[in-house]
Structure 1
Amino acid sequence: MVLAAVTIFALSQFGIVSASDDLPPMTVYQDPNCGCCGDWIDHLEENGFEVEAEYRSDMGNVKQQAGVPQHLGSCHTALVGDYVIEGHVPADDIKALLHNAPEGIQGLTVPGMPVGSPGMERGDRLDPYDVLSFTSDGATRVVASYGK
Protein backbone atom coordinates (compact mmCIF):
# COMPACT_ATOMS: atom_id res chain seq x y z
CA MET A 1 0.00 0.00 0.00
CA VAL A 2 2.80 2.43 0.83
CA LEU A 3 4.57 1.62 -2.43
CA ALA A 4 1.34 2.28 -4.34
CA ALA A 5 0.95 5.65 -2.65
CA VAL A 6 4.55 6.62 -3.41
CA THR A 7 4.15 5.51 -7.02
CA ILE A 8 0.95 7.54 -7.48
CA PHE A 9 2.66 10.57 -6.00
CA ALA A 10 5.77 10.17 -8.19
CA LEU A 11 3.79 9.70 -11.38
CA SER A 12 1.60 12.70 -10.72
CA GLN A 13 4.46 14.96 -9.69
CA PHE A 14 6.78 14.14 -12.57
CA GLY A 15 4.19 14.16 -15.34
CA ILE A 16 4.73 10.53 -16.31
CA VAL A 17 0.99 10.16 -16.82
CA SER A 18 -0.12 12.51 -19.59
CA ALA A 19 -3.39 13.88 -20.95
CA SER A 20 -2.99 11.69 -24.02
CA ASP A 21 -3.50 8.53 -21.97
CA ASP A 22 -6.59 6.50 -22.81
CA LEU A 23 -8.88 7.63 -20.00
CA PRO A 24 -12.23 6.07 -19.13
CA PRO A 25 -15.24 8.40 -19.06
CA MET A 26 -16.13 9.96 -15.72
CA THR A 27 -19.53 10.69 -14.19
CA VAL A 28 -19.61 13.55 -11.70
CA TYR A 29 -22.53 13.80 -9.29
CA GLN A 30 -23.08 17.32 -8.01
CA ASP A 31 -25.64 19.50 -6.33
CA PRO A 32 -27.29 21.75 -8.94
CA ASN A 33 -26.53 24.82 -6.80
CA CYS A 34 -22.76 24.27 -6.53
CA GLY A 35 -20.54 26.43 -8.75
CA CYS A 36 -17.15 25.00 -7.83
CA CYS A 37 -18.17 21.55 -9.13
CA GLY A 38 -18.43 22.97 -12.65
CA ASP A 39 -15.00 24.55 -12.28
CA TRP A 40 -13.55 21.17 -11.25
CA ILE A 41 -15.21 19.54 -14.27
CA ASP A 42 -13.57 22.18 -16.48
CA HIS A 43 -10.20 21.24 -14.93
CA LEU A 44 -10.81 17.56 -15.72
CA GLU A 45 -11.84 18.25 -19.32
CA GLU A 46 -8.81 20.50 -19.84
CA ASN A 47 -6.72 17.51 -18.73
CA GLY A 48 -8.19 14.97 -21.13
CA PHE A 49 -11.15 13.50 -19.26
CA GLU A 50 -14.56 13.02 -20.85
CA VAL A 51 -17.04 14.04 -18.15
CA GLU A 52 -20.77 13.65 -17.78
CA ALA A 53 -22.33 15.75 -15.02
CA GLU A 54 -25.39 14.49 -13.19
CA TYR A 55 -27.20 16.96 -10.97
CA ARG A 56 -28.52 15.45 -7.74
CA SER A 57 -30.19 17.02 -4.73
CA ASP A 58 -29.50 13.88 -2.63
CA MET A 59 -25.70 14.02 -2.49
CA GLY A 60 -25.63 12.33 0.91
CA ASN A 61 -27.22 9.25 -0.65
CA VAL A 62 -24.84 9.38 -3.62
CA LYS A 63 -21.83 9.42 -1.29
CA GLN A 64 -23.23 6.62 0.85
CA GLN A 65 -23.94 4.43 -2.21
CA ALA A 66 -20.43 5.12 -3.55
CA GLY A 67 -18.90 4.11 -0.22
CA VAL A 68 -17.38 7.48 0.69
CA PRO A 69 -16.71 7.62 4.44
CA GLN A 70 -18.50 10.64 5.90
CA HIS A 71 -15.33 12.22 7.30
CA LEU A 72 -13.74 12.19 3.81
CA GLY A 73 -16.59 14.02 2.08
CA SER A 74 -16.57 17.09 -0.11
CA CYS A 75 -19.10 18.72 -2.42
CA HIS A 76 -19.09 16.36 -5.43
CA THR A 77 -18.57 12.65 -6.04
CA ALA A 78 -17.28 11.11 -9.26
CA LEU A 79 -17.02 7.60 -10.61
CA VAL A 80 -14.27 6.72 -13.08
CA GLY A 81 -13.24 3.20 -13.99
CA ASP A 82 -13.47 1.17 -10.78
CA TYR A 83 -12.80 4.17 -8.53
CA VAL A 84 -14.59 6.86 -6.55
CA ILE A 85 -13.17 10.38 -6.66
CA GLU A 86 -14.41 12.66 -3.90
CA GLY A 87 -13.89 16.40 -3.99
CA HIS A 88 -11.31 18.57 -5.68
CA VAL A 89 -8.71 15.92 -6.60
CA PRO A 90 -6.20 17.13 -9.24
CA ALA A 91 -6.51 15.41 -12.63
CA ASP A 92 -2.89 14.18 -12.58
CA ASP A 93 -3.51 12.29 -9.33
CA ILE A 94 -6.59 10.63 -10.86
CA LYS A 95 -4.57 9.67 -13.95
CA ALA A 96 -1.86 8.15 -11.77
CA LEU A 97 -4.47 6.12 -9.89
CA LEU A 98 -5.97 4.83 -13.14
CA HIS A 99 -2.55 4.07 -14.61
CA ASN A 100 -1.32 2.10 -11.58
CA ALA A 101 -4.58 0.53 -10.36
CA PRO A 102 -3.22 -0.17 -6.86
CA GLU A 103 -4.88 -3.11 -5.18
CA GLY A 104 -7.31 -2.36 -2.37
CA ILE A 105 -7.83 1.33 -3.17
CA GLN A 106 -11.47 2.36 -3.47
CA GLY A 107 -10.70 5.91 -4.51
CA LEU A 108 -9.14 9.30 -3.90
CA THR A 109 -10.42 12.24 -1.91
CA VAL A 110 -9.62 15.82 -1.02
CA PRO A 111 -11.85 16.26 2.05
CA GLY A 112 -13.54 19.61 2.41
CA MET A 113 -13.04 22.36 -0.14
CA PRO A 114 -9.50 23.75 0.22
CA VAL A 115 -8.83 27.04 -1.52
CA GLY A 116 -6.36 26.60 -4.36
CA SER A 117 -7.36 23.03 -5.21
CA PRO A 118 -8.69 22.52 -8.77
CA GLY A 119 -12.05 24.24 -9.02
CA MET A 120 -11.45 26.22 -5.83
CA GLU A 121 -8.93 28.73 -7.21
CA ARG A 122 -9.10 32.14 -5.53
CA GLY A 123 -6.27 34.28 -6.93
CA ASP A 124 -2.83 33.22 -5.69
CA ARG A 125 -4.11 31.72 -2.44
CA LEU A 126 -3.23 28.05 -1.89
CA ASP A 127 -4.27 26.50 1.38
CA PRO A 128 -2.30 23.35 2.23
CA TYR A 129 -4.16 20.14 1.42
CA ASP A 130 -3.59 16.45 0.93
CA VAL A 131 -4.94 14.02 -1.62
CA LEU A 132 -5.81 10.81 0.23
CA SER A 133 -6.39 7.31 -1.07
CA PHE A 134 -9.04 5.38 0.83
CA THR A 135 -10.06 1.76 1.12
CA SER A 136 -13.49 0.21 1.60
CA ASP A 137 -12.84 -0.05 5.34
CA GLY A 138 -12.03 3.69 5.56
CA ALA A 139 -8.23 3.45 5.87
CA THR A 140 -6.43 6.39 4.27
CA ARG A 141 -2.97 7.27 3.01
CA VAL A 142 -1.58 10.57 1.76
CA VAL A 143 -0.71 10.23 -1.93
CA ALA A 144 0.08 13.88 -2.67
CA SER A 145 0.40 17.14 -0.77
CA TYR A 146 -0.03 20.65 -2.11
CA GLY A 147 0.73 24.08 -0.70
CA LYS A 148 3.02 22.88 2.05
Structure 2
Amino acid sequence: MTLVIAGCTAKPAEEVASQKITLYKSQTCGCCALYTKYAMNKGYPLEVKDMTNMDALKEQYQIPASMRSCHTMVVGDYVVEGHIPLEAVEKMMKEKPDIRGIAMPGMPSGSPGMPGSPSGEFIVYAVKKDGTFTEFMRI
Protein backbone atom coordinates (compact mmCIF):
# COMPACT_ATOMS: atom_id res chain seq x y z
CA MET A 1 0.00 0.00 0.00
CA THR A 2 1.24 3.49 -0.84
CA LEU A 3 -0.16 6.52 0.91
CA VAL A 4 0.76 10.09 0.07
CA ILE A 5 0.50 12.49 2.99
CA ALA A 6 1.06 16.23 2.86
CA GLY A 7 1.10 18.19 6.09
CA CYS A 8 -0.18 21.72 6.44
CA THR A 9 0.86 22.97 9.87
CA ALA A 10 4.50 23.85 9.16
CA LYS A 11 6.94 24.21 6.30
CA PRO A 12 10.21 22.29 5.96
CA ALA A 13 13.37 23.97 4.73
CA GLU A 14 13.38 24.59 0.99
CA GLU A 15 16.24 22.12 0.52
CA VAL A 16 13.97 19.39 1.88
CA ALA A 17 10.62 20.50 0.47
CA SER A 18 11.96 20.33 -3.09
CA GLN A 19 12.96 16.65 -2.72
CA LYS A 20 11.01 13.46 -3.22
CA ILE A 21 10.58 11.97 0.27
CA THR A 22 9.60 8.34 0.75
CA LEU A 23 9.18 6.76 4.19
CA TYR A 24 9.36 2.96 4.29
CA LYS A 25 7.89 1.23 7.32
CA SER A 26 6.26 -1.92 8.58
CA GLN A 27 2.48 -1.70 8.40
CA THR A 28 2.16 -2.87 12.01
CA CYS A 29 4.75 -0.54 13.60
CA GLY A 30 3.11 2.01 15.88
CA CYS A 31 6.21 4.15 16.43
CA CYS A 32 6.72 4.39 12.64
CA ALA A 33 3.17 5.72 12.34
CA LEU A 34 3.95 8.29 15.05
CA TYR A 35 7.15 9.35 13.25
CA THR A 36 5.12 9.71 10.03
CA LYS A 37 2.68 11.98 11.89
CA TYR A 38 5.60 13.99 13.34
CA ALA A 39 7.07 14.57 9.85
CA MET A 40 3.64 15.36 8.41
CA ASN A 41 3.00 17.93 11.16
CA LYS A 42 6.31 19.58 10.22
CA GLY A 43 5.02 19.93 6.65
CA TYR A 44 7.06 17.16 5.04
CA PRO A 45 5.38 15.87 1.85
CA LEU A 46 5.71 12.13 2.44
CA GLU A 47 5.03 9.15 0.27
CA VAL A 48 4.57 6.34 2.79
CA LYS A 49 5.19 2.74 1.75
CA ASP A 50 4.27 -0.17 3.99
CA MET A 51 6.82 -2.95 3.53
CA THR A 52 6.79 -6.64 4.36
CA ASN A 53 10.60 -7.01 4.38
CA MET A 54 12.41 -4.05 5.90
CA ASP A 55 15.70 -5.98 6.16
CA ALA A 56 15.86 -6.33 2.37
CA LEU A 57 15.25 -2.60 2.00
CA LYS A 58 18.03 -1.78 4.46
CA GLU A 59 20.37 -4.08 2.53
CA GLN A 60 19.37 -2.36 -0.72
CA TYR A 61 20.29 1.04 0.75
CA GLN A 62 23.43 -0.42 2.38
CA ILE A 63 22.59 0.65 5.91
CA PRO A 64 25.12 -0.95 8.29
CA ALA A 65 23.50 -3.40 10.74
CA SER A 66 24.75 -1.39 13.73
CA MET A 67 23.05 1.76 12.40
CA ARG A 68 19.59 0.30 11.78
CA SER A 69 16.28 1.27 13.31
CA CYS A 70 12.69 0.41 12.47
CA HIS A 71 11.91 2.72 9.53
CA THR A 72 13.87 4.17 6.63
CA MET A 73 13.23 7.45 4.84
CA VAL A 74 14.74 8.42 1.51
CA VAL A 75 15.11 12.15 0.91
CA GLY A 76 16.40 12.87 -2.57
CA ASP A 77 19.62 10.85 -2.89
CA TYR A 78 20.08 10.41 0.88
CA VAL A 79 18.94 7.71 3.30
CA VAL A 80 17.59 8.71 6.72
CA GLU A 81 17.49 5.78 9.15
CA GLY A 82 15.45 5.85 12.33
CA HIS A 83 13.76 8.32 14.66
CA ILE A 84 15.94 11.25 13.64
CA PRO A 85 14.84 14.76 14.58
CA LEU A 86 14.10 16.62 11.35
CA GLU A 87 16.64 19.33 12.17
CA ALA A 88 19.31 16.78 11.24
CA VAL A 89 17.62 16.07 7.89
CA GLU A 90 17.46 19.79 7.13
CA LYS A 91 21.14 20.24 8.08
CA MET A 92 22.12 17.37 5.79
CA MET A 93 20.11 18.73 2.87
CA LYS A 94 21.50 22.24 3.34
CA GLU A 95 25.14 21.10 3.60
CA LYS A 96 24.85 18.29 1.01
CA PRO A 97 27.75 16.21 2.40
CA ASP A 98 29.27 13.38 0.34
CA ILE A 99 27.68 10.60 2.41
CA ARG A 100 25.10 7.85 1.93
CA GLY A 101 22.86 9.35 4.61
CA ILE A 102 22.29 9.76 8.33
CA ALA A 103 21.21 7.32 11.01
CA MET A 104 20.17 7.22 14.63
CA PRO A 105 20.32 3.52 15.54
CA GLY A 106 17.83 1.79 17.77
CA MET A 107 14.71 3.42 19.07
CA PRO A 108 15.85 6.03 21.64
CA SER A 109 13.33 6.97 24.29
CA GLY A 110 11.82 10.41 23.71
CA SER A 111 13.01 10.69 20.11
CA PRO A 112 10.41 11.70 17.49
CA GLY A 113 7.78 8.96 17.35
CA MET A 114 9.01 7.24 20.51
CA PRO A 115 7.39 7.44 23.94
CA GLY A 116 9.25 8.41 27.08
CA SER A 117 11.69 11.11 28.01
CA PRO A 118 15.08 11.58 26.39
CA SER A 119 17.95 10.28 28.52
CA GLY A 120 20.39 12.78 27.02
CA GLU A 121 21.38 14.17 23.67
CA PHE A 122 20.50 12.26 20.53
CA ILE A 123 23.55 11.34 18.46
CA VAL A 124 22.97 11.31 14.72
CA TYR A 125 25.61 9.55 12.63
CA ALA A 126 26.74 10.22 9.07
CA VAL A 127 26.86 6.95 7.14
CA LYS A 128 29.64 7.20 4.60
CA LYS A 129 29.49 5.60 1.18
CA ASP A 130 32.03 2.96 2.25
CA GLY A 131 29.71 1.86 5.09
CA THR A 132 31.68 3.45 7.92
CA PHE A 133 30.08 6.09 10.10
CA THR A 134 31.02 9.13 12.16
CA GLU A 135 29.13 11.54 14.36
CA PHE A 136 27.10 14.00 12.26
CA MET A 137 25.53 16.05 15.03
CA ARG A 138 24.04 15.99 18.52
CA ILE A 139 20.56 17.25 19.26
Q: Which residue of 2 is the match for residue 29 of structure 1?
A: 24
After superposing the two structures, state which structure 1 stretch, 20-29 or 71-80, moved more: 20-29
Q: Do structure 1's residue 140 and structure 2's residue 133 form an aligned pair?
A: yes
| Counterpart among 99, 102, 110 of residue 108 in structure 1 | 102
Letter in 2 for 1:30: K
Identity among equivalent positions (%) equals 32
- When residues 68 and 121 of structure 1 are mapped into structure 2, their CA distance, relative to the original with a 3 A threshold, is same
Residue 46 of structure 1 is aligned with which of 41, 44, 52?
Answer: 41
Counterpart AA for 2:93: L
Look up the SS of the partner of 1:61 in the other structure: helix
Deviation per CA, 1:7-44: give whole Å up to 9, x if none. xxxxxxxxxxx735252131111111101111111121
CA pair 20-96 structure 1, distance change in 2 beyond 3 A: closer
Return the alpha-carbon distance in structure 2 between the equivalents of residues 45 and 96 of structure 1: 18
Distance 1:80 1:121, change over 3 A: same
Richer in helix (by share): 1
Contact 2:39 2:86 in 1 (8 A): yes
CA contact (8 A) 1:20 1:48 kept: no
Correspondence 1:95 to 2:90: yes
CA distance in 2, matches of 1:60, 1:127: 28
User: Counterpart in 2 of 1:19?
Assistant: 12
The residue that corresponds to 1:130 in the other structure is 123
TM-score normalised by L of structure 1:
0.79
Q: Which runs of 5+ in 2 are unaligned?
A: 1-10
- Equivalent position amino acid for 2:12 in 1: A
2:131 match: secondary structure = coil
Alpha carbons 1:113, 1:120 under 8 Å: kept: yes
The alignment of Structure 1 onto Structure 2 pairs a total of residues equal to: 126
TM-score, length of structure 2 as denominator length? 0.84
Query: Aligned partners of 1:126 and 1:47: how far apart in 2?
Result: 20
